[in-house]
A and B are shown apart, each in its own frame.
Chain A
Amino acid sequence: MSEAAKKDAHDDEALILDAQQAMRDRGRIPEVAGVLGWLIPGLGHIYGGFYKKGALGLVLVLGLYLAGLGLSQGDAVQLDGDLAHPIAFVAQVGAGLPTGLAYLRSRGKLPGFRDVPAEELESEDYFKSREFIQRLPDVQTGLLFTMVAGLLNLLLAYDAFRGSPGAVARHLEEARIELRIQRLREELSAQQPEAEAEAEPKAEAEAEAEPKAEAEPKAEAEPKAEAEPKAEVKEETS
């Protein structure tokens, strides 16, 4: 890694720490922002003072999660029985509170649970039934939505925990480029006087040489000019 790249990496690290420090300066605790962001998508950003980001995150990520839950009629979040999706649950855990509530609902501890009798679930007829097969695409879509929302929320929560330094980093990068351009301009302007100072004696020498060169043709031309009137005078007199 070059010296400049090392310095940039160091600056970026300092910037991330600065973003967290800036959050603390505003009286917000980054760890609380991270936990809130994990519990409810976008809440960490809202807590940290990034209201627009938080509001959009809340609408889009939580909306995606709820859409998935609604499409699957709650079956997307399951850990028990034959309808369980344990691997999907790992991704869904990224959205803390909605997944917790959906899990409680799947255990029948919250209202809205669509109770399928255990005997019915145990029989193979249920899984071959028209109702179950018709619902399968929606359950798959619901699984996709809830998993994607859970995983994306982990990103959002982490961003809230770091004090959302992304935009700041971009602004810093732009400022850094401008600074480099300014430094280059300064170097160029510092080099210019030296170049001019070097160029001046040459220019003076050339300037000294030029009048001589110009003077010589004049010297040649003048006698002719002087000679011509004489010839004219001679013609007049004759």
Chain B
Amino acid sequence: MIGTVLAFLVSCAVAAFVCTVIKEDFDKHLLLAWGRLFGLMVGGISAFAAAVQVISSMV
């Protein structure tokens, strides 16, 4: 379980980095944009997974 969560977080972090680094420069924008995209990815995917779990438990 921990391994899965870690794998998910690491994948999201690297994906967010690559998608940010091609758009931003190395100033304050990079860290902010990286963190924002990482948060969006983790939050969005987690919310989607939670919704799937809830719906599948109801059916």
Binding site for B on A (CB under 8 A): 52-53, 56-57, 60-61, 64, 67, 137-138, 141, 144-145, 148-149, 152, 155-156, 159, 164, 166-167, 169-171
Contacts and interface: CB of A to CB of B under 8 A. Distances in A.
A53 B18 CA distance: 9
A170 B21 CA distance: 12
Nearest to A148: B11
Nearest to A45: B21
B23 interface: yes
Contact of A167 (B14, B15, B18, B25): B25
A145 B11 CA distance: 7
A137 B3 CA distance: 9
A20 to B, nearest CB: 15
Contacts of A145: 7, 10-11
Interface in B1-57: 3-4, 7, 10-11, 13-15, 17-19, 21-26, 29
B15 A148 contact: yes
B23 A167 contact: yes
Contact of B18 (A52, A138, A156, A164): A156
A64 B22 contact: no
A64 B10 contact: yes
13 contacts: A57-B21, A60-B13, A61-B14, A61-B18, A64-B14, A138-B3, A144-B11, A145-B7, A145-B10, A145-B11, A148-B14, A152-B14, A159-B21
Contacts, number: 59
Contact of B23 (A67, A138, A166): A166
Given A61-B14, A149-B14, A170-B29, A56 B7 contact: no
A137 B7 CA distance: 11
Nearest to B26: A52
Given A56-B17, A61-B18, A170 B10 contact: no
Contacts of A141: 3-4, 7
Given A64-B14, A148-B15, A156 B22 contact: yes
A91 B36 CA distance: 26
A170 B24 contact: yes
Contact of A170 (B7, B11, B17, B23): B23
A60 B23 contact: no
B29 to A, nearest CB: 7
Contacts of A144: 7, 11
B19 to A, nearest CB: 7
Nearest to A64: B14
A90 to B, nearest CB: 18
A159 B18 CA distance: 10
A57 B21 CA distance: 9
Given A52-B26, A53-B26, A170-B29, A155 B19 contact: yes
B11 A171 contact: no
